[in-house]
Amino acid sequence: MPIDPSAVGQTGGPVTTKWNSKDALLYAVGVGAGTDELAFTTENTRDTPQRVLPTFAVIIGGGGAPFNKIGQFNPAMLVHGEEGIELLGEIPVEGEIESVGKVSAIWDKGKGAVVEMTSESTLVATGEPLLRTRMSAFIRGEGDFGGERGPSASLEIPTRKPDHEVHYDTAVDQALLYRLSGDRNPLHSDPSFAQMGGFAKPILHGLCTYGFTGRALLHSLCDGDPARFKSMDGRFSKPVYPGDTLGVSMWVDGTECIFQTRNQAGDVVFDQGTMTFA
């Protein structure tokens, strides 16, 4: 059967996920952290205890998302649309969480369907909620089922000069490093597979771009303190290639921020960004 809109509200899990110091270190270097961010890239630097990048939430969270309950579709037609995280506490260097997922929305966009999944994760050691994640996927060819189109309001980017701007260069082999955190999709590593998908060469993982962007927000707005980083949400708008430069522009209002990420050509690659911090 095709996409089943009655699946909204269906749940999945619980799913248990464990991680350790090495997993957090590998993620940090996978999203570009280096020798000037030793709290995230080393575990044995004097007077610098290891901490975890807030966007590591996308690696350990999201468990239980019940994609098996929304009907049948061709996975090759699925495109990652949006990603959001909410942190209820600082992610520990090692730990174990239990996650429960939910189909929170299914929208009919005509040419395709948008499926939104949410997940909440609880620390097993304490029983306390640690983080929530939200992701949406656009599934091409699965629309026109007579459902609602869903919200279409867009965030208005301020016209004034950004309060902060950060530029990071991604490495030409960035995707080869990031994939070691779990996403082994050959679209990011195999040139022939990427060409079959219509790309000149392998593209960078969207969640790697998300991690680079999160680092810029963390250091610009939280003084590098993960405990102050509360939430981050946005939409993937254009592919990034390894070796591209990412520029993150931020407009701040109190403890809220609107942000946008562009490549070296000025194209917006991550849009509709919102972030909250303490």
Q: The domain containing residue 235 runs over which residues?
A: 164-277
Q: Are residues 136 and 171 in the same domain?
A: no
Q: Examine the pLDDT at 198 and tell me if it is beyond 90.
A: no
Phi, psi of 241 (to 5 degrees): -105, 140
Q: Are residues 76 and 183 in the same domain?
A: no
Domain boundary pick from 140, 174, 203: 140
Asked if residue 155 belongs to a domain, the reply is: no
Q: Are residues 83 and 206 in the same domain?
A: no
Q: Are residues 29 and 103 in the same domain?
A: yes
Asked if residue 145 belongs to a domain, the reply is: no
Asked if residue 46 belongs to a domain, the reply is: yes
Q: Are residues 74 and 173 in the same domain?
A: no
State the pLDDT at residue 75: 81
Asked if residue 146 belongs to a domain, the reply is: no
Burial of residue 210, with CB atoms counted within 10 A of its CB: 0-12 exposed, 13-18 middle, 19 or more buried: buried
Q: Examine the pLDDT at 3 and tell me if it is beyond 60.
A: yes
Q: Are residues 21 and 119 in the same domain?
A: yes
State the amino acid at position 144 in one-letter form: D
Q: Are 25 and 48 in contact (CB under 8 A)?
A: no
State the pLDDT at residue 78: 85
Q: Are residues 169 and 74 in the same domain?
A: no
Average pLDDT over residues 114-137: 97
Asked if residue 158 belongs to a domain, the reply is: no
pLDDT bin (cut points 50, 70, 90) of residue 146 is: confident
**CATH code, domain with 241:** 3.10.129.10
Q: Are 78 and 139 in contact (CB under 8 A)?
A: yes
Asked if residue 14 belongs to a domain, the reply is: yes
Catalytic residues: 183, 188, 203, 206
Average pLDDT over residues 238-259: 98
Lowest mean pLDDT among 78-87, 123-132, 140-149: 140-149
State the pLDDT at residue 166: 98
Q: Are residues 135 and 168 in the same domain?
A: no
Model confidence pLDDT, tens digit, residues 61-96: 999 999 999 998 888 788 899 999 999 999 999 999
State the pLDDT at residue 127: 96
Q: Are residues 85 and 10 in the same domain?
A: yes
Q: How many CA atoms lie within 13 A of 244 on its CB side?
A: 27
pLDDT bin (cut points 50, 70, 90) of residue 185 is: very high
Domain boundary pick from 86, 105, 140: 140
Q: How many domains does the chain have?
A: 2
Please tell me what DSSP assigns to residue 105.
E
State the pLDDT at residue 235: 96
Domain boundary pick from 87, 106, 140: 140
Q: Are residues 131 and 179 in the same domain?
A: no
Q: Are residues 10 and 135 in the same domain?
A: yes
Helix, strand and coil in the chain, % to nearest 5: 25, 35, 40
Give the Cα separation of 258 and 251 in Å (integer). 5
Q: Examine the pLDDT at 1 and tell me if it is beyond 80.
A: no
Mean pLDDT of the chain: 95
Q: Are residues 176 and 72 in the same domain?
A: no
Asked if residue 157 belongs to a domain, the reply is: no
Asked if residue 128 belongs to a domain, the reply is: yes
Give the Cα separation of 96 and 107 in Å (integer). 33
- Percent over 70 (pLDDT), the chain: 100
Give the Cα separation of 236 and 273 in Å (integer). 10
